[in-house]
């Protein structure tokens, strides 16, 4: 009777390798279909192209901003000239308007400078000298005449003469119709000599 044997026992064994493997895998060439260096080079080129594109866009943006700044400066210079011309014209207009307003206010003054000086000269005492007459008509609501002058004598005597002169002006019938109040603003000693200087304001009635 034949003995039964396993199938695996019936197959022949593989022959062992008969020589040593001396291959250096690190020095062997890469035999892959797509080599690893291809991916590395492609990535490096992509990064370089990206950097160039970024630098190009940055330079374009800087140049664009510089052009905008230059255009804005030119516009500013142009507007500056126009603004200066407009300010000049506006100043001239204001000056002419002021002259017109002064002329219009002057026509509303109820007494002319010639008539006023005539009345002042007729009532002027011998001890008083008028140095200047200031006519203020820039404010239509506050029209006035101012007299500035000197009075001779000691301080007490000059003060009495000046006060008496102010009373004379207030009592003048022609001046009383036009001016109210008539006030003595100041009476001071003149540093240049033995005189007293005064200022009298005659305000036109509203």
Q: What is the mean pLDDT of residues 102-110?
A: 65
- The pTM of the full predicted model, rounded to 2 decimals, is 0.47
Q: Residue 17: which region, alpha, beta or left (left: phi > 0; alpha: psi -120 to 50)?
A: beta
On the CB side of 194, CA atoms within 13 Å amount to: 6
| pLDDT tens for each residue of 118-128 | 888 888 888 88
Q: What is the CA radius of gyration of the chain?
A: 56
Could you tell me the sign of the dihedral formed by the alpha carbons of 58, 64, 68, 74, in that order?
A: positive
| pLDDT tens for each residue of 120-169 | 888 888 888 888 888 887 666 778 889 998 888 788 888 888 899 899 88
- Considering the segment(s) 113-204 as one domain, its CATH architecture is 2-Layer Sandwich (3.30)
Q: For residue 120, what is the enclosing H or E element?
A: helix 113-122
Q: How far is CA 47 from CA 36, 43, 44, 57, 97, in A?
A: 17, 6, 5, 15, 72
Q: Is 62 helix (H, G, I), strand (E, B) or coil?
A: helix
Domain layout of the chain by residue ranges: 33-107, 113-204
Task: Give the lowest-confidence range in 17-26, 48-57, 82-91.
Answer: 17-26
Instruction: Write out the two tokens for 138.
Output: 């820039």
């Amino acid at each position: 009777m034949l003995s039964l044997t396993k199938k695996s026992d019936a197959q022949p064994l593989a022959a062992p390798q008969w020589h040593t493997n001396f291959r250096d895998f690190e020095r062997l060439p890469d035999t892959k279909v797509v080599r690893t260096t291809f991916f590395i080079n492609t990535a490096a080129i992509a990064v370089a192209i990206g950097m160039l594109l970024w630098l190009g866009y940055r330079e374009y943006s800087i140049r664009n901003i510089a052009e905008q700044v230059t255009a804005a400066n030119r516009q500013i210079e142009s507007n500056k000239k126009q603004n200066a011309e407009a300010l000049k014209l506006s100043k001239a207009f204001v000056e002419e308007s002021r002259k017109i307003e002064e002329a219009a206010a002057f026509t509303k003054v109820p007494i002319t400078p010639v008539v006023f000086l005539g009345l002042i000269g007729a009532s002027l005492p011998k001890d008083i000298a008028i140095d200047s007459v200031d006519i203020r008509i820039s404010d239509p609501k506050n029209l006035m005449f101012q007299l500035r002058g000197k009075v001779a004598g000691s301080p007490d005597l000059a003060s009495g003469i000046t006060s008496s002169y102010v009373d004379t002006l207030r009592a003048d019938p022609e001046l009383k119709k036009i001016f109210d109040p008539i006030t003595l603003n100041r009476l001071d000693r003149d540093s240049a000599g033995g005189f007293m200087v005064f200022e009298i304001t005659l305000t036109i009635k509203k």
